[in-house]
Copies of this chain bind each other. A is one copy, B any other.
């Protein structure tokens, strides 16, 4: 049959593989009604409500060729903050845990640091004291633990660490502490031809080591805070890149849209965050032409996860601050606030 020509002779497995590819283009291939049906069953961990509906509506109007808000495939860019938006950020960013865990190895290589602050305090393992270190102290720890090595050696170290390290509350690898409802959002966006990007205040090199495995987001679709590197040759003459103590991109606050422009080059159609550091990214995404989606995850579920941020009278937190002003801006400008307590049927895949 002529119209079946492209698939003639392909095995069932090949066809299934082909099918796995097709969803990326389903905006082009399927009639709008089929898409809508898919979308409704696409967010099983979400309760019905305005947040879920906003996501489904956005997908529908931007991928239905008959819609006035149809978005051509190359413009389908969606950006996601990581810490607190895709996975747990309390009580401490996982990357900070990585840095602290590396201190003993750094001190072993340079024993004189054992008597020098802030390394002396870190070596005590007393988290109360460590929590009182200054920002400047943490910068010293970052320089000591994140720079001076070959980028590929660093990737191997992060990979080894993240395979072993566990969160203290759930006693599980950090990589299992991703929010199942947000994993479903990533999948839904990709199934509708959106390229999904992580845009994180965390280290780009750090997140890239696991983004593909954990979120299905390839390394080149991770924008994050970035140190410079220096090209050179190792002792065998092999070209390498060495991580330098020079901040190229501080991918937080205004740095998020700036980082998006640097590494993506397009105003995103949709953006998801959870704190004041995501404000400019959401403003930037929301203010372009046509249909736009800006969403904030509110951590208001002390029982299943955490409750923090002064919005709605929750306790303040050094991490993932969600001030009342951000909440007010969201309400005023048509962003959506996702209540973990009310909008999410479950938080984690392992529940």
Interface residues of A in 226-285 (CB under 8 A from B): 226, 228-231, 238-239, 241, 248-249, 254, 257-258, 261-267, 280, 283-284
CA distance in complex: A285, B248 (Å): 23
For this complex, into which size category does the number of interface residues on chain A fall? 35 or more
**Which secondary structure characterizes the binding site on chain A?**
helix
Contact between chains at A261 and B229 (CB < 8 Å) = yes
Contact between chains at B10 and A29 (CB < 8 Å) = yes
- Specify the chain B residue showing the minimal Cβ separation from A3: B12
CB contacts (< 8 Å) of A12 on chain B: these are: 2-3
CA distance in complex: A228, B262 (Å): 8
Do A21 and B19 form a contact, CB below 8 Å, given A205-B265, A212-B74, A239-B283? no
Contact between chains at B280 and A239 (CB < 8 Å) = yes
Do A17 and B25 form a contact, CB below 8 Å, given A231-B284, A257-B239, A265-B220? yes
- Specify the chain B residue showing the minimal Cβ separation from A152: B267
- Asked whether any CB of chain B lies closer than 8 Å to the CB of A310, the reply is no
- Asked whether any CB of chain B lies closer than 8 Å to the CB of A92, the reply is no
Against B, the Cβ 8 Å flags (1 = close, 0 = not) of A199-227 are 00000110010001000001111100010
CA distance in complex: A102, B25 (Å): 39
CB contacts (< 8 Å) of A21 on chain B: these are: 21-22, 24-25
- Specify the chain B residue showing the minimal Cβ separation from A284: B239
Point out the residue from B18, B30, B221, B229 that lies within 8 Å of A29, measured CB to CB.
B18
Contact between chains at B17 and A6 (CB < 8 Å) = no
Interface residues of A in 15-33 (CB under 8 A from B): 15-19, 21-22, 24-25, 28-30
- Asked whether any CB of chain B lies closer than 8 Å to the CB of A170, the reply is no
CA distance in complex: A287, B28 (Å): 40
CA distance in complex: A226, B3 (Å): 46
- Asked whether any CB of chain B lies closer than 8 Å to the CB of A134, the reply is no
Contact between chains at A254 and B231 (CB < 8 Å) = yes
CA distance in complex: A182, B74 (Å): 23
Contact between chains at A231 and B280 (CB < 8 Å) = yes
Q: Would you give the shortest CB distance from A12 to chain B, in whole angstroms?
A: 5
Can you name 6 A-B pairs with beta carbons within 8 Å?
Answer: A2-B12, A3-B12, A4-B7, A21-B25, A229-B261, A263-B263
